[in-house]
Structure 1
């Protein structure tokens, strides 16, 4: 499996934190999944979608100096801002098109603007041995023996008390936790109940930049937020909208229509059921998590606000 694409094992969502000594608990870091293959002087990286990301993260080319022997690591690449993981920031690195002629320049610039660290939590291969069938604790014990931390690479810490960890990360406004059975093998490419993710719902201040219609009525709002002074589309929200709100919104939205989308990352023209509006109306949306293409998963409208559109910034 060394230098072959490996689809990572993934946790399944859960609502309850297991109370059992058979589990260990880790912070769920809000970043991009990254597998690292290391042998001699060679370091090769790929993400969950099996895209080569070696050139995207030059900071990790020295990973071979931190590992004793050839290895395949699993972890999360994270960009920090104000002491917290910032998912939009790490995406500015991961989504750079390597086919563009200015790719090397962009990466050099982003190494300063969006520095990353690699948080390692599993060891799939070491010294010629496939470790995926071993219990998680055995893999982690070996990982702790062979991996040395530095300024960009860290071993993810394990915790015994999931409820205390969940409370602590809520206070720090982090994403959630992962509960893993200590005897679990690594089942590549599968979402498996041996690993559970328990997450706090996130909150984002957004500005409305469009809406959709169905049967002659508005049925969803198109939301965005500003990133690097550009309005970025982050998803469509229908849950939480009451019929009364829709009736009250309709005249305002129809009075402020635009011919083209206000979002910098959308090039769609008006379709039969999509209408663009001036980005004036702001709202608070709660959602489960960010997707890999920076969309809100399971968004729910909490309410409209009096905040200025410029305050709707991706954080």
Structure 2
């Protein structure tokens, strides 16, 4: 049986969490969404954009060690810890690797956990038209949890879980209706997320330097007219000195004379403009009245398509 990658279902962002007996709350992990495909012979990992990731996480391919199904498609999140909690910066250390030797070293240096929260197909039968409660029952029947493979637990009170997540500096919560089905490629109120911090992928359009090394990046998004709009600058986050030095080297050949933004950025006088090429995942608290991010911080440099770096991410 040939199993082809599919686009997973997504939650929508709301500030008011639903309540009721049919709603359950789950932790929103700050990791990488990953679907596991097993056709009875081969195991493959594909991310939410249907990009192959089996080579990056070879330790997660032994599906028979934790799953009894003869064939299956699992939905979940791969997370990596910074010593205290899962962070996107840590998991990006694994996502960016391509060389086999580097990946083998990273298995020990940056261990990962697969948090499983849904099942789309089991033993050759699609479960998409089954309610979430039934799909979760199947999950509990076929998954044998371990340190590296775990089932994301349901919590009864989303607001209470949200407060706990705030205390621990986690990303947020996801509410799910137990009575609802799973829509491939869908995004609606069946699942609702509330983030403590928001995040987006933005494009670097300029930098500032300190002692010859980049110390902040100027960021932008494309609006619906295709204009490149400045949305703020970030100089804090989880980057090491080596990553800042590496960015300095990477942007040198991209320096341009004119600012790429259509609006006027802060720090324009001290900025060095670069061709919009590199992207970064940015975490922020909210938007200011001036249309910039409040308290932005850099989570990681990424390799996403520039066309996806739009204000549509805010929906």
Q: TM-score, normalised by structure 2?
A: 0.72
Counterparts of 1:109 and 1:167, CA distance in 2: 37
1:253 matched to which residue of 2?
none
Pair 1:295–1:271, CA change in 2 (3 A): farther
2:192 matched to which residue of 1?
196
Which segments of 5 or more consecutive residues in structure 1 lack a partner in the other structure? 213-218, 234-260, 280-291, 305-311
Q: Secondary structure at the match of 1:294?
A: strand
1:136-186 deviations in Å (ceiling 9; x for gaps): 000001101110111211000001111111111111111100011111101
1:11 matched to which residue of 2?
11
1:176 matched to which residue of 2?
172
2:160 matched to which residue of 1?
164
Aligned pair count reads: 257
2:87 matched to which residue of 1?
86
Alignment of 1:27-66 (within 5 A): 27-66=27-66
- Offset, 1:49: 1.0
Counterparts of 1:232 and 1:296, CA distance in 2: 18
Task: Tell whether the 8 Å contact from 1:2 to 1:37 is kept in structure 2 after alignment.
Answer: no
Pair 1:262–1:147, CA change in 2 (3 A): same
Alignment of 1:123-134 (within 5 A): 123-134=119-130
Pair 1:196–1:271, CA change in 2 (3 A): farther
Counterparts of 1:168 and 1:82, CA distance in 2: 18
Q: Secondary structure at the match of 1:142?
A: helix
Counterparts of 1:266 and 1:139, CA distance in 2: 51
1:272 matched to which residue of 2?
258
Pair 1:130–1:301, CA change in 2 (3 A): closer
Alignment of 1:135-154 (within 5 A): 135-154=131-150
Counterparts of 2:146 and 2:252, CA distance in 1: 39
1:237 matched to which residue of 2?
none
1:247-304 deviations in Å (ceiling 9; x for gaps): xxxxxxxxxxxxxx7475785312411569589xxxxxxxxxxxx9523476655579
Task: Tell whether the 8 Å contact from 1:135 to 1:183 is kept in structure 2 after alignment.
Answer: yes
Counterparts of 2:169 and 2:252, CA distance in 1: 30
Counterparts of 1:155 and 1:278, CA distance in 2: 47
2:23 matched to which residue of 1?
23
- Offset, 1:135: 0.1
Alignment of 1:95-114 (within 5 A): 95-96=96-97, 98=98, 103-114=99-110
Pair 1:220–1:191, CA change in 2 (3 A): closer
Which segments of 5 or more consecutive residues in structure 2 lack a partner in the other structure? 200-213, 221-229, 261-267, 273-278, 301-315
